[in-house]
Structures are given as C-alpha cells and as structure tokens.
Structure 1
Amino acid sequence: MAASERDKMAAGAWYNCVDPELDTLRAVAAEAVFEHATMSPQQRGDLAPRLKALLGSAAAGCRVEAPFHCAYGFNIHLGEGVFLNAGCTILDTAPVRIGAGTMLGPNVQVYCPEHHRDPVKRRAGLEIARPVTIGRNAWIGGGAIIRGGVEIGDDAIVGAGSVVTKSVPAGATVVGNPARPIAR
C-alpha cells in the first residue's frame, strides 16, 4: 500500500501539500484558531478549548495570545509556561517543540515546510517538512523568523526581526538576517 501524503509529511519525505486529507486537517486547525481569535479573553483563558485539544501537547501555564495561526496544530508541543505573543504563526508540517519557560514575541514565525526548488515540482505542490526545536527559557524577539531544521538551545536569545537559518547554541544571542552570534 502506498504511503499517504500525510505519512510522507510525517516521515520527512517529499509530499504533495495539495491533498484532500491535508486540506481537511488544515480546515480543522483553522476552525480551532478561529475560535481562539474570536472568543472573549475572559472566556478563552490561556488557550481556547478547541486549540488546546488540537495541539500535540500543551503543559501547564502555556499562554497563546490571539491572533495565532498554525497549519495543523497536532505537531506543536509547548512546555510548561511557554508564552506566544500576539500574531505568532507556526506552520507545523513537522514537529515544533518549544521548551518550558520560553517566550516568543509578537509576530514570530516558525516555518517547517520547504517548497521544492524545481519550479514544476513546486507548482505541483511538492514540499518537505523540517522540524524546529526551541529549548527551555529561550527568548525569541518580535518579528523573528525561524526556518525548518533549526534547533535553538536552552537560554538562547534571538533578536527582534532576525531570520534564523542555522541552529543556535545554548546561551547564545543571535541577531540579523541571517542571524549571527553576538556577545552578550
């Protein structure tokens, strides 16, 4: 039996993102995100019920400000006390793990999918999913972009507006486009 596009995505192989099963999963995520964005903050709390149920895991004390966007949700894993400020986008075609105590500023973007470089295959919807791991107690400044395949170590700092294309060691501070280390 041939692997489904979802199975290929989960395996880190090239898959077609223009697929009915994946479309359905994205629609489920869109409904959960919509509920989170439109529910009264007092009623919603830290995570709206449908968004909390959608996420792969969300430990105690996680807070996701609205608006928030994700592709699927089930690949997102939030450690205890994680804070995502307003406007964060996580395109979670692969696992995204965010360690306890980590804070993402407003409009941080995490992009796991990478589209094919061949224009014909790209137009056909081929992409590959690369995971992102952010360690404990990291601080990701507002407007930062984190590409798939990147690991950010514990206690690291990513400056606002930085574009992170390579992994960041624990305790390091990176800034710029592309993000480069600076002394703290």
Structure 2
Amino acid sequence: MKSERMKMAAGEWYTCIDPELEELRVAARDAVFEHNNLPPRRRGDIGPALAALLGGAGEGARIEAPFHCAYGFNLLLGDRAFLNAGCTILDTAPVRIGKGTMLGPNVQIYCAEHHREAAGRRAGLEIAKAVTIGDDAWIGGSAVILAGVSIGEGAIVGAGAVVTRDVPANATVVGNPARAVARR
C-alpha cells in the first residue's frame, strides 16, 4: 500500500492530513523560520537550514525574507535564480526555477489542487502538479502561478497576473487569467 507521501510524489490523489506529511511540513517551517529570522549578513543568500532542505540551489541563487514553502525538498533553483521578499511556494510537487530567473515580491506558486467535491476536501484530498519556470524568465510582483503550469525561457509574467496555463518561451502574459500580449 502506498503512503500518502508516495501518492503525492506520483501525482495521485492523496490526503494532506497525514502524520508523515505533517512532520515534513514542520521541518520546512523550522527551516523557513530560521531563514526569515537570521540577520541578513548571517543568513547569506539562503539560510543554512533552508539551503540544506531545498531540492537544489545553484550558485548565486537567493531567497529574500520573508519566504514560505510547504516542503522545500521539491524546490530546485538554478544559478542566480532570485526570489524577492514575500514569495510563497506550496511545493507539493517539484518546482523548478531556471537560471537567472527573477520572481518579484509576493509571487505565489501553488502545486496543489484540492478536490472538486466538498467531501473530498473534508478528507484533505489534493493532487500535486509540478511547476516549471525556464531560464531568464521574469515573474512580476504578486503574480500567482497555478498547479501544472510551465513558463518558458525568457518569458515575462506581468505583476498581478494569474497564470492558469502554459506560457511559451519569450512570451509576455498579463491579467487574470493571464493572456499573451505583444512585447514592447
């Protein structure tokens, strides 16, 4: 029988109301707390406990405080990836942020989709879908990126956009839901 963590990793319906998953979230909250509360000169680019928890962080990757993630181990940052203050990443599935990509303040990335039926939500059922952001993308402040979305290399997501579908390389999207616009 598969554990809830195994189901989550496999992209199957799982219940987030699970002791093993809760323990993993507690470990992430501890690492995030350290990161958010260390003086900037002692924290460096990423607090030590958070850096150890992450799935990977390339050279020069930086996360400004405050920051929040659900698990941490599903977050992979490319070289020079930059997450500005207030970013929230609910990494129930892998989140890959490419080299040189910049996230503005308060960007939110959600990998979990909750069950459509009320009874399923009461049971804590959700499904995790990966999010990928290519190299050299720019995600404007307060943008929201939903589960399963891929954003191509060099793409721009305007501030406040809600990205519900894939964004091609070098495209610019704005609005809610995000729609393509011509680059200036």
Query: Which interval holds the TM-score relative to the shorter structure?
Result: over 0.9
**Cα distance in 1 for residues equivalent to 2:36 and 2:88:** 13
Q: Calculate percent identity across the aligned residue pairs.
A: 69
What secondary structure does 1:97 align onto?
strand
Residue 36 of structure 1 and its aligned partner are, at CA, apart by 0.3
What secondary structure does 1:33 align onto?
helix
**Cα distance in 1 for residues equivalent to 2:45 and 2:11:** 31
What secondary structure does 2:80 align onto?
coil
What secondary structure does 1:128 align onto?
strand
* Equivalent in the alignment of 1:119: 118
**Cα distance in 2 for residues equivalent to 1:171 and 1:101:** 14
Q: What is the aligned-residue RMSD (CA, Å)? A: 0.3
What secondary structure does 2:79 align onto?
coil
**Cα distance in 1 for residues equivalent to 2:120 and 2:100:** 40
Residue 175 of structure 1 and its aligned partner are, at CA, apart by 0.0
- Structure 2 spans left out of the alignment, 5+ residues: none
Code of the residue aligned with 1:24 in structure 2: it is E
Pair 1:53 & 2:46 matched = no
Code of the residue aligned with 2:8 in structure 1: it is M
* Equivalent in the alignment of 2:17: 18
What secondary structure does 2:127 align onto?
strand
* Equivalent in the alignment of 2:41: 42
What secondary structure does 1:47 align onto?
coil
Code of the residue aligned with 1:39 in structure 2: it is L
What secondary structure does 1:61 align onto?
coil
* Equivalent in the alignment of 1:96: 95
Code of the residue aligned with 1:106 in structure 2: it is P
Code of the residue aligned with 1:100 in structure 2: it is K
**Cα distance in 1 for residues equivalent to 2:174 and 2:86:** 20
Code of the residue aligned with 1:98 in structure 2: it is I
**Cα distance in 2 for residues equivalent to 1:137 and 1:147:** 20
Residue 45 of structure 1 and its aligned partner are, at CA, apart by 0.4
**Cα distance in 2 for residues equivalent to 1:103 and 1:46:** 14
Q: Which runs of 4+ in 1 moved over 4 A?
A: none
Could you list the per-position Cα deviations for residues 7-37 of structure 1 after superposition, in whole angstroms to 9, with x for gaps in the alignment? 0000000000000000000000000000001
Normalising to structure 2: TM-score of the pair?
0.99
**Cα distance in 2 for residues equivalent to 1:33 and 1:115:** 24
Residue 82 of structure 1 and its aligned partner are, at CA, apart by 0.2
Residue 157 of structure 1 and its aligned partner are, at CA, apart by 0.0
* Equivalent in the alignment of 2:153: 154
Number of paired residues?
183
Residue 93 of structure 1 and its aligned partner are, at CA, apart by 0.2
* Equivalent in the alignment of 2:67: 68
**Cα distance in 1 for residues equivalent to 2:122 and 2:158:** 34
**Cα distance in 1 for residues equivalent to 2:147 and 2:131:** 6
